[in-house]
Every structure is written in C-alpha cells, then in structure tokens.
Amino acid sequence: MSNGLQERQCGKMAVCGRFAPTPSGRMHLGNLLCAMLSWLSVRAKGGRYLLRIEDLDAVRCPRSLADQIEEDLKWFGVDWDDGGSAGGEAWYQSTRSVIYERYFHRLERSGMVYPCFCSRAELHAAQAPHRSDGTYVYPGTCRGLTAEQAVEKRKKRPPAMRLHVPDRTISFIDGCQGVYTENLAHDCGDFIIRRSDGVYGYQLAVVVDDAEMGVTEVVRGRDLLQSTPRQLYLYEQLGLAAPQFYHIPLLTAPDCRRLSKRDGDLDLDALRARFGRPEPMIGMLAAAVGLRPTAQPVALTDLVQEFSWDKVSRTDAVLPRNIVQGSSISYR
Ligand code: GLU
C-alpha cells in the first residue's frame, strides 16, 4: 500500500483502530467482544476504524466466510470506514505477499534471518512445551548451519525462514493488562517469518499491515499478549512506529473453562437464532467485561459516550450460566 493510500485511510496522527479477523469459521462471542471493544475505543475518540481480513492461509479461509463476518458485524452494529470487501483486494492478507516480501528482504539484509529445516514433528519430539500457551521455544537447531549444509538440506525440503532474536528483555505497557515483560531469547526464541510453503508468518504480516495502514491502536484477545514482544521487536528492526496495544479479557464458562471456536453453539449462527437481535448480546458482553453493572439490552452506539478502558476488567470474563446452559454444551 502506498503512503498516499495510508494517509487517505488514517492520516499520520489520527486515532485509527481495526478489527482483523481470521475467517476460518463463523465468528464466536470472543471475536464479537474484540470487535465491540476495538470499535468502541476508536469511536469514543472519534477515530477511524478499519476491517482487515487475515486470510494468510487462503485454503482455510474462503471468501464466503469473510463475507459472513461482514454480515455478522453489520448485524451487530459495527461499521468501518475502510476495508473489507468494499475496500478491495488490498484488505485481504492473501493478496499482500508482495508487500510482506519487501519487508522480509529488509530483515534478510540485516543478516538475522536463516533457513530452518526442522519439521514440526522433529520439534515436538525434541522438547516439552515451554510457554504457558503450550507452544515451544525454538532451540536454535538450524541457526548454526553452514551455507553448504543449507544447500544440501534445501535439496530435500524447502525451509521456513526464522528471525534470530537477541537475549533481550522487552517490556511494554498494555492499555488493558498493564506492564508485560518477556525475554525474547528465553521466552520466545527465534520465530518463523516465512513458512516453508512461502506464506509469510502472522507476526510479520500483522506488523507490516498495521504499520502500512496507519493503525495506532490494536485491540485483541489476551491470548495474543505473548506475540506482542516479537511484534515490538519487528517494529524496531523495520524502523516502524508501534501502536498502543490493548489485550482484552477472554470469555470463560462459569466453570472457568475458556470458550473457543470449538464451542459451535456459541457461534453467531446459533446466537443470532437464539437472541434475534444484538442488544441483549451487547448488554451481556458489556456486563461481562465490566462496562456496565448489569446486562440490560443496549445498542452499541449507546455505549460510545460512556466507554473507557478504565472500566474494562483485566481478568477473564465469566459468561452468565444461562448463556452457556442454553447451548447444547453441558457445564456442570
Ligand atoms: N487474526 C487474528 C485473529 O483472528 C487477530 C490478530 C490481531 O489482532 O493481531 O485471532
């Protein structure tokens, strides 16, 4: 995206937020909460709101699911100033690899990018999960390969490309979670910026896109908090300005079990059929995260004036029993 286009979208100083769904299924309540809070945060400041479709994995993310997300958002009362299908192809990550490539080469020139031939199975066999989310810290197996060894290995399998991270602590203030600190080498490890099938990694794509689109605030689930130090490192290495981050509470059932996409009965298909209109769902979500004392039905626009990040709880939001019990999932 050219700078001219960026300026048209957000301008350099204006507040600009976005919703960046991955259309691999119908949205669920957690996605809706993210759309709701990101939209409220921007609208409360009179900023611009963008819709970017994160369909890097084009096979898992058909256009029909992206179109369904737009339809669900409109039904819910979320509108956007640019992006989505009306914005054109540039708003779909699957069409943006030429842009990611440019930034990838910039990193490559720094000498910190190297090919990695480890398969997922090899990595799983080699170590126990290290991070709290059950993922692995890459031990650096391929970092020391000589050019000759890499040439030999390339004959057998195409490599993923990893960014070598320093033994450095990154700290930032999250607008919702407070201070978050991580050591890149110990807590995260060298990470993939291009997969072996040539698809650019989420970490690189999201940084490039947010920067190119002029995004000044990123609101997303707390499950992505651990990605942010990597992204801040990328911003720094690429000489780009980082946005303000807000990592919002996750939704849980009354027994504290985290809800996820697997809970199909809490997806928008089932919820729309059950509630018929968005106001009761908005009221329920607003109460669950602390924006309102009770779950009275309310329109999204009626929450704009009273929105403040100070009101949003840091801890996971427990859904009322009747919501969860009304679905066919049993929580005893
Ligand atoms: N596409 C990601 C998701 O749907 C969100 C990424 C982000 O907001 O940075 O979970």
Atom of ligand 1 nearest to the CA of 18: 8
3: left (phi over 0), alpha (psi -120 to 50) or beta: alpha
The pLDDT value recorded for residue 62 is 97
Question: Each residue's pLDDT tens digit in the chain (332 positions)?
Answer: 444 445 445 554 589 999 999 999 999 999 999 999 999 999 999 999 999 999 999 999 999 999 999 999 999 999 999 999 999 999 999 999 999 999 999 999 999 999 999 988 888 777 655 666 667 889 899 999 999 999 999 999 999 999 999 999 999 999 999 999 999 999 999 999 999 999 999 999 999 999 999 999 999 999 999 999 999 999 999 999 999 999 999 998 877 777 766 666 688 999 999 999 999 999 999 999 999 999 999 999 999 999 999 999 999 988 887 777 555 443 32
CB contact burial 208-238 (16+ within 10 A = b; e otherwise): bbbbbbbbbbbbbebebbbbbbbbbbbbebb
Compute, in angstroms, the gap from residue 224 CA to the centroid of ligand 1. Answer: 8
Q: Which domains does the chain have, with CATH numbers?
A: 3-95+249-324 (3.40.50.620), 98-202 (3.90.800.10)
CA-to-CA separations, 324 to 73, 207, 215, 265, in angstroms, rounded: 22, 35, 35, 9
pLDDT at 262: 64
> What are the structure tokens assigned to 16, written together?
């600009």
Pairwise CA distance, residues 52 & 7, whole Å? 16
Burial class (CB in 10 A: 0-12, 13-18, 19+), 69: buried
Give the residue, out of 202, 232, 244, with the most ligand 1 atoms within 8 A of its beta carbon, to mutate for a pocket test: 202
Q: How far is the CA of 147 from the centre of ligand 1 (A)?
A: 36
pLDDT at 130: 65
- Mutational pocket test of ligand 1: of 16, 19, 22, the residue with most ligand atoms within 8 Å of the beta carbon: 22
Query: Of the residues 56, 73, 204, 220, which should be mutated to test ligand 1's pocket, given the most ligand atoms within 8 Å of the CB?
Result: 220
Cα of 271 vs centre of ligand 1, distance in Å, is: 22
The answer to whether 320 and 60 are in contact (CB under 8 A) is: no
Q: Please report the atom of ligand 1 found closest to the CA of residue 19.
A: 8
pLDDT at 44: 97
Is 283:33 a contact under the CB 8 Å cutoff? no
pTM, full prediction:
0.92
Candidates 116, 101, 126; CA nearest to 154 is 116
Q: 151 C-alpha to center of ligand 1: Å?
A: 35
Atom of ligand 1 nearest to the CA of 31: 4
Residue 68, CB-side half-sphere exposure with 13 Å CA sphere: 16
Residue 210 Cα: closest atom of ligand 1: 9
In 3D space, the residue among 309, 319, 252, 245 whose CA is nearest the CA of residue 40 turns out to be 309
74, 155, 261, 311: the catalytic one is 261
261 is catalytic: yes
Distance 53 CA to ligand 1 centre (A): 9
| pLDDT for position 1 | 42
Query: CB under 6 Å to ligand 1: residues?
Result: 20-22, 54, 206, 218, 220, 224
Eight-state DSSP code of residue 257: P
Take atom 6 of ligand 1 and give the residue whose Cα is closest: 20
